[in-house]
Each structure stands twice: as structure tokens, then as C-alpha cells.
Amino acid sequence: MRTLNLAGFLSVFIRVHPWLKIALCFFLVSAAHAAPLPAPVAKALREAGISSASVGVFVQDVSARKPLLAREANQPMSPASTMKLVTTYAGLELLGPAFSWKTEVLAGGPVEGEVLQGDLIIRGYGDPALSMENFWNLLRDVRKLGIREIRGNLVLDDSYFQAKGGDPGAFDNDPYRPYNVLPDGLLVNFKTLRFRLVPDMEGGSVRVIADPESPRLKVTSQLRQLDGPCGDWREGVATEVGKNGGDDVSLLVSGGYPGTCGEKSLYMSLFDNTGHVDALFRQLWRELGGTLGGGTRQGVAAPGARLLAVHESRALAEVIRDINKFSNNVMARQLLLTIGREAGNEGTPQSGAQAVVQGLAERGLHFPELVIENGSGLSRTERIAPAHLGELLIAAYRGPLMAEFVSSLPIAAVDGTMKKRLHDRGVAGHAHIKTGSLQGVKAIAGYVQDRKGRSMAVVCIINHPGASAGQAAQDALLEWVYNRN
């Protein structure tokens, strides 16, 4: 009669009772909880005044079956922008790395010679990366068809998403910052304007030049040119936005700006989406030699509208590099809405979150505490346990799209949000790490290739009023993982 050892018995029992697999995973994480934090990490936390109970840590070799280190790893925590790992992983798995978005231009009337006798319609399908250059090329394709004059209106069809309106300042009462831009079915150039700060080396003033320009935007510069090093020049630049009745906007830029900085760019979102696209279209269309007779309004393309030109975005595998390396919030929100829409549901945050949760479950990733509000991490309600974020990292590494996912993360001391960190440490260049910061939240999650070539999934989330002082502890954790025996 053949006997079963403990491992064999558990293997058989798990097949009969699959729920035991989940319980066993949590048992292993709890067992690892007994291990103390590495001394350099604990020291940095003490110096920052952050209690270890406010820190969730998870470290596991991607080829191992249990974590090397797990502290407070099962508690739901606010992940800040590391939530983008959930959204981008789900996007790759559910949409595929070659998925792309399109933007169409249609004619709402006949074209007679160089004249469009009707509306010009631009229909968006949620492209998160439709830059000014892409938009210019799309309009250029229309112009090359011979169309010069548009007798009707410019109609913006953003009906692909059903997420409408909202207050861009609801999160932190700063509605003009690019990170607060809300998603839209027709999002052009991230709905931001570029303001060039150009020092006058002789007069001591600083010019502020808007791009694109708009007759509804008045810009006044009271910037003083300062001596000294460039440093963090943004700290000295103040902006004041005024609404002058109707759709007109004024911007006053004041403060001090070091002349040694040379030319820099400041980005702001000042108009609603209709006003923003209107200003950009009119400038680019005029530069292409075209004219627009009517106004600009929201609308839906009629079934009989004739297609004139199409722009197709970069593949999703490339787009997520911008989302993760530079922590672009509106792009992540666009991706979540796209996931919901492509799943056959509405393009809303709720349908996107539902599709993500279902997709994760189909891949054996059951995260009962997971809360997705918008998929970007710019949220006070989004939650995930560090152990589950680590489990997602391991699943991504073991999956067929590992290369696409890992390459989207910032490289320590090299690029993205990790460019200025860990330059003097051995782990520099050996870690792909997504960062996240909110008031009271400091997070890192990603991969470290240690000195022996082993790939380690690493998560560290701090939820504490003094979390902003926790970077040294997180850097110490990455260095410890890299140097361990």
C-alpha cells in the first residue's frame, strides 16, 4: 500500500478543496510576518517617526512559493499610484499588448471643391495618448484631401465613454493641475496647455507664451528674473486663474524665476474639453491654411457621416510605459474606461472596475479587499493589500506578457519617477519600481534583480500622516533586497 507524505496529501486535498489554496497562501504570508524588518529599514522608519504598524511590506522571489518577508501585508491599504500596476496589468491581459485606439474625422455634409458644406465631426474612441503632433497629423490628412473651408460647425463626438462631467478639483481643490484632468472619449494632448517661460536676459523679465493660443485666454506675466542656481524653479512660480465671464479665462503668472534655468515649460488645464479642443483645432487648422465658419459643440456623428481620415494610436504595450514610468493619471483613467467599454459594458469607472476584478479572478487572483475607484491611484478610497499587489507582480512576471509589463516600470536611477533616486546605491539600474505618493501615503512596488541575479517582487506601502518622510526607508528596503545573501 502506497503512503502519501504531507506534501502529497496537501496536493490531493487542495484539488478537492480549492479554497484551501487561498487559506494556505495567507498562512504562509502570516508565517513570514514573524520575520523582523531589515535593520536599515527599521532604523529609517524610526528616524522618520513612522510606526512599523503603518507599513505593509511584501518581498518574494518570483520563482518561490512563499514570501521572504511580509509585514502587515494582509491589511487593505491606500496604494496611491501603485494602483496603476493593477490597471495596466489588467489592460495587457484583457485587451492584449497590440490593442490600439482610433480617432476619426468625418464629414457631415458634401464636399464641393475646397469647401465642406456642413459640419466637420471628430469622433474619439478613448485614445489616452492623442498628442498635439498626432492631432496635427490627423488634420493634415484632412487638409490634403483638398478641404480648406468648413462652412458648418466643429462637432466633437466623445460618446464612446459614458463617464461625463465631474469636478477636476474635487480631489485636492486644485482643478488646473494636469494630474487632475478628467477622462474623455475625445482627449487631446491630455487636455493641457503648455506655457513657455522664456527669460529676457537683458530686460530682467520673463515672457510667458501659451501654446496653443486662444482668443479666450489672456496671459499676464509678472515673473521676476532671479539670480542664482535653477534648482526647483516651480516652487517660486505662482499662478492665478480667473474666469472672466462666459468661457474667457485669464492667467496671471508671478513670483521669481532663476534666469539660469533658461526656457522651461509649465503645463495647466484651464478650459473644459470643448473649449480646449476648439482652441487647439482652430490654431492648427489655421496654420494648415484652413478656415472654420461655425462654432464648436458636442454632438454625435450621424449614421450617414462620411469618413475622411483616421488616426490609430500606439499599441497598448507602448502606451502603458507612459502610464507607469511617468505616473500619468488621466491615461490610467482612460485605460480603465476602455477596459469596461471593450468588455461589452459602458465606458464607466464602475464597469471598468468590474471587468478588472473578473479578469483577475479568471487568472486565479482573488483580492476580496480590492477597491478600484478610477484605476489611477488618485483616490482616497482605492485599496489593495500589499500581499495581493505582490501576488499580482508575481503572476505578471510568470505570465507571457512579462517583458511588456516589466519594461513599463521606471528603472531606479535611470528614468521615469525613479530617475533621481538611488544613484549612489548598488541597486541603481537593477530595479523596475512603480512609485506612488499622496498626502499620508508613500508606496513602491515592482521588481529588484539582486546581486545573484534573482528576480524579487517587492511591495512597500506606508499609510501614515508622516508618510512623505518614508522614502529613505523604502530605498533602504530596495538596497537590502539587492544585497541579501
What is the distance between the alpha carbons of residues 250 and 134, in angstroms, rounded to a whole number? 28
- Report if residue 54 sits inside a domain: yes
Q: Are residues 129 and 209 in the same domain?
A: no
203-222 pLDDT, tens digit each: 788 999 999 888 889 999 99
Helix (H) or strand (E) holding 328: none
pLDDT of residue 4: 44
Cell of 132: 498635439
Shared-domain flag, residues 327 and 233: no
Contact 388, 369 (CB under 8 A): yes
Q: What CATH code is carried by the domain that includes residue 420? A: 3.40.710.10
The CATH number for 107's domain is 3.50.80.20
Position 203 scores a pLDDT of 74
* Separation between Cα atoms, residue 119 and residue 116, nearest integer Å: 7
User: Does residue 173 fall inside a structural domain?
Assistant: no
Are 374 and 462 in a shared domain? yes
Average pLDDT over residues 352-361: 98
Q: How many CB atoms lie within 10 A of CB 319?
A: 25
Based on the structure, what is the number of domains in the chain? 3
* pLDDT higher than threshold 50 for residue 29: no
Q: Is residue 56 part of a domain?
A: yes
Which pLDDT tens digit goes with each residue over 167-178? Answer: 999 999 999 999
64 inside domain: yes
Last residue within a domain, chosen from 312, 333, 364: 312
Distance, CA of 371 to CA of 385 (rounded, Å):
10
Q: What end-to-end distance do the CA atoms of the chain give, in Å?
A: 43
* Per-residue pLDDT tens over the stretch 244-281: 767 789 999 999 999 999 999 999 999 999 999 999 99
Same domain, residue pair 115 and 226:
no
Mean pLDDT, residues 272-298: 95
Are 332 and 464 members of one domain?
Answer: yes
Q: Which residues neighbour 440 within 8 Å (Cβ) at sequence distance 6 or greater?
A: 78, 463, 464, 465, 467
Task: Note the residue count of the chain.
Answer: 485
Q: Which domain holds residue 38?
A: 21-98+317-483
> In this structure, are 440 and 298 located in the same domain?
no
Whether 12 maps to a domain, the answer reads no
Residues 353 and 303 occupy one common structural domain: no
Q: What share of the chain in percent tops pLDDT 90?
A: 87
Average pLDDT over residues 346-366: 97
Alpha helices in 344-470 (DSSP H): 349-362, 386-398, 402-406
* Range 386-391 average pLDDT: 98
Average pLDDT over residues 57-66: 97
Give the other-Cβ count within 10 Å of 412's Cβ. 27
Other residues' Cβ atoms within 10 Å of the Cβ of residue 384: 26
Please indicate, yes or no, if residue 5 is contained in any of the structural domains.
no
pLDDT tens-digit series, residues 11-22: 444 454 544 444
Please return the burial class of 382, using the count of CB atoms within 10 Å of its CB with bins 0-12, 13-18 and 19+: buried
In a domain, 186, yes or no: no
How far is CA 158 from each of CA 119, 187, 278, 331, 338, rounded to the nearest angstrom?
16, 8, 14, 16, 13
Backbone CA torsion sign across 176, 177, 183, 188: positive
Q: Which residues pair with 442 in a beta bridge?
A: 437, 462
Q: Are residues 224 and 329 in the same domain?
A: no
CA 375 to CA 87: how far, in whole Å? Answer: 6
Work out the widest C-alpha separation in the chain, in whole angstroms: 97
Q: Are 333 and 374 in contact (CB under 8 A)?
A: yes
**Is it the case that residue 363 has pLDDT exceeding 90?**
yes
Residues 278 and 383 in one domain: no
Burial of 41 (0-12, 13-18, 19+ CB in 10 A): buried
Nearest Cα to Cα of residue 430 among 412, 415, 407: 412
At which residue does the C-alpha cell 533621481 appear? 420
Between 69 and 3, the higher pLDDT residue: 69
Q: For the residues of 146-165, what is the DSSP string, one character each?
A: T--EE-S-EEEE-TT-----
Same domain, 233 and 356: no
pLDDT class of 399 with cuts at 50, 70, 90: very high
pLDDT digits (tens, 9 = 90+) for 430-479: 999 999 999 999 999 999 999 999 999 999 999 999 999 999 999 999 99
| Residue 185 placed within a domain | no
The DSSP result for 275-317, as a single string, is: HHHHHHHHHHHHHTT-EE-S-EEE----TTPEEEEEEEPPPHH
Residue 181 and residue 168 in contact, taking contact as beta carbons nearer than 8 Å? yes
Full strand arrangement of the beta sheet holding 306-312: 296-298, 154-157, 120-124, 102-107, 306-312
In terms of Cα–Cα distance, which of 483, 327, 335 is closest to 419? 327
pLDDT band at residue 166, thresholds of 50, 70 and 90?
A: confident
Instruction: Give the residue among 191, 173, 174 at the shortest CA–CA distance from 182.
Output: 191
Question: Do residues 248 and 123 both lie within one domain?
Answer: no
Residue with cell string 487636455: 191
Q: Are residues 426 and 294 in the same domain?
A: no
